A and B are shown apart, each in its own frame.
Chain A
């Protein structure tokens, strides 16, 4: 297949380029690029006028649910959802059944990703840090790394034991693979289903105190100071205090990175007053002050990555009493819209910085090769129309699940296509 990308604006943090650029891509390889490339009639022309061409976006925090919970999502529907959201790669979390805590499951997930959706989305497994995600014994990290694991996490649960966390840091440090912590001091959060504070008090809802997140991050940073060879990534950071801890650790030059979800920079806990279970996630939606703090963290680089924590659940699972509902919302198909609406339009980030947080930074953290946009390289691209205004309609989602708190919202900015593994997908 020969493709001529015409009229787009290349935004590439790796090479630092920001200019209009046409591309000729033949069988997935960039043949030539420049301001005036010549395409004959054998090329299919894609008009990307007023659109951004960026290195392919990667969502480093996704729950694909397969194996074990295929009623919520499969690797196929999850990849379709990722592609529809403009992602050419996802990292899937290990809280499957069985958990991704041995080589065979890791390989299964990685390989399955190549077979579905024409292989247009790369699937990188994040393996469990401990066997069965039980927090008791280390998972076979070396084997898992060989099988393609790019990070270790017990996501959904924290690594509660300080001793196990220490050993996980030590062991993973041999392979340069980060430990991704779901930071939560569980002794303080039992039964909680929303942020502890004014709104929880008003609703009589059991609370999840912000300090439960901050305590775990503080502990981990102290451990990291003791084992400075290790790499620590804070998943779905949500509180002002947590952002401060990470900022401080970065100043010390510890190997700390962090991510935030679009819902944590878009919504605050007052939306729980609707008792809509699509506002229930863990960590919970926090306060306005926390939201402003994560935006500040994104701006000053404390927060490196935007990741969705895409957590599909069926309507039946979510359409229950608030306290009974499972945590989590889908996010792949709204991430770009929420990011441009909530961060770029409000001048928190430039488009260039947004691309770093959706593409280059997560790849660096996970030691994945940088996407090179140059002649002779394989094309791995995301196209975004930053001006497109659209209304979120969950019935249009490619994800098997529709549990989004943003149904009906009007967003600015949408992915218009991806190019990866020789496949062009226009949206």
Chain B
């Protein structure tokens, strides 16, 4: 069993077997992370470039750690320090870096489809680390990994994604991946932040947390961004917190404890109350740890099969 594509551009269209392969592969890497010596040799001699055209701390560090723990040579570059600010196109930037003989590219970019675009203009394996509002496949995978770890299986699991679905690549990757794995997916957020025709994807749409909380096993709470308020999509952070913020009080009405997830970074007491983020039902830090294992699995599977 191996992955169908030599790139990881998104979870849409990936089969249950492929997703399971990545999750299973990550289990052994997760185990390595608990060892005193966390480095293994599979990518020795391979060079990975992290192209981050959008600021990111946790995803970039997570990828870098994953790459180094697989013994790859690693170069990271962020937009501010690059020639992008000098007007160079994405294609030129990527081709120039590839001309330096690299094997894999991890890319984060604000434009949907940019990872897809790169995969057409370079020969290296491309891993999408977030392309605008499109996909963030390793986040989707690490969320699924964390849920599987907690609940044993994804089949039949009820997961609700809360917040700004329209602009969220995390939401999309979770929806595609979880539906393929047989989970029940719902979303909850203000109508202005739910993209059109989302129901056609096979997800339930809610606008009231109290309605969905009794029906789910886990809430994946998305970060809300202030700029959405400025563009008229919701009235205020205060109102958002009151009606869409996930709090201890709101989840306490559930018949059994609900697992709380968040892709980070958290706006404490805006989309998620601080006490809940730090509670025993929060798996937010496990998500972060699992993220390294998932990225190791993806790098390993793509980097060693051809």
Contact (Cβ within 8 A) B196 A201: yes
Contact (Cβ within 8 A) A323 B112: yes
User: Is residue B90 within 8 Å, beta carbon to beta carbon, of the partner chain?
Assistant: yes
Interface stretch among B23-31, B127-135, B285-293?
Answer: B127-135
User: Is residue B225 within 8 Å, beta carbon to beta carbon, of the partner chain?
Assistant: no
Q: Which residues from chain A sit less than 8 Å from chain B, CB to CB?
A: 196-198, 200-207, 275, 316, 319-324
A-B contact count (CB 8 A): 65
Q: Please tell me the number of chain B residues within 8 Å of chain A, measured between CB atoms.
A: 28
From A201, A204, A322, A324, give the contact of B169 (CB < 8 A). Answer: A204
Contact (Cβ within 8 A) A205 B133: yes
Question: In whole angstroms, what is the CA distance A286 to B226 when docked?
Answer: 31
Question: In whole angstroms, what is the CA distance A283 to B195 when docked?
Answer: 20
Contact (Cβ within 8 A) B112 A322: yes
Contact (Cβ within 8 A) A198 B200: yes
Min CB–CB distance B84 → chain A (angstroms): 11
For B110, the closest partner residue in chain A by CB is A323
Contact (Cβ within 8 A) A197 B197: yes
Min CB–CB distance B121 → chain A (angstroms): 8
Q: Which of B109, B169, B196 neighbours the largest number of chain A CB atoms within 10 Å of its CB?
A: B196
**A-B contact sample (8 more), CB < 8 A, given A200-B195, A321-B90:** A197-B196, A201-B201, A203-B113, A204-B112, A207-B195, A207-B196, A275-B116, A321-B114
Contact (Cβ within 8 A) A203 B134: yes
Given known contacts A198-B200, A202-B12, A205-B112, is B195 in contact with A323 (CB within 8 Å)?
no
Residues of A within 8 A of B114 (CB): 321-322
Min CB–CB distance B88 → chain A (angstroms): 11
Residues of A within 8 A of B201 (CB): 201-202
Min CB–CB distance A119 → chain B (angstroms): 39
Contact (Cβ within 8 A) B200 A320: no
Given known contacts A204-B134, A320-B91, is B198 in contact with A275 (CB within 8 Å)?
no
User: Is residue B80 within 8 Å, beta carbon to beta carbon, of the partner chain?
Assistant: no
Contact (Cβ within 8 A) B196 A204: no
User: Is residue B60 within 8 Å, beta carbon to beta carbon, of the partner chain?
Assistant: no
Given known contacts A203-B134, A204-B132, A205-B133, is B113 in contact with A321 (CB within 8 Å)?
yes
For A320, the closest partner residue in chain B by CB is B89
User: Is residue B69 within 8 Å, beta carbon to beta carbon, of the partner chain?
Assistant: no
Residues of A within 8 A of B195 (CB): 200-201, 207
Min CB–CB distance B207 → chain A (angstroms): 17
Question: In whole angstroms, what is the CA distance A196 to B132 when docked?
Answer: 16
Question: In whole angstroms, what is the CA distance A207 to B194 when docked?
Answer: 13
Q: Which of A201, A316, A321 neighbours the largest number of chain B CB atoms within 10 Å of its CB?
A: A321
24 residue pairs of the A-B complex, CB under 8 angstroms, read A197-B196, A198-B196, A198-B200, A200-B195, A200-B196, A202-B172, A202-B201, A204-B131, A204-B132, A204-B135, A205-B113, A205-B132, A275-B112, A275-B117, A319-B89, A320-B91, A321-B90, A321-B114, A321-B117, A322-B111, A322-B112, A323-B110, A323-B112, A323-B132
Q: Which of B110, B116, B121, B200 neighbours the largest number of chain A CB atoms within 10 Å of its CB?
A: B116
Question: In whole angstroms, what is the CA distance A48 to B150 when docked?
Answer: 76
Q: Which of A205, A207, A275, A320 neighbours the largest number of chain B CB atoms within 10 Å of its CB?
A: A275
Min CB–CB distance A205 → chain B (angstroms): 5
Contact (Cβ within 8 A) A321 B109: yes
From B117, B196, B200, give the contact of A196 (CB < 8 A). Answer: B196
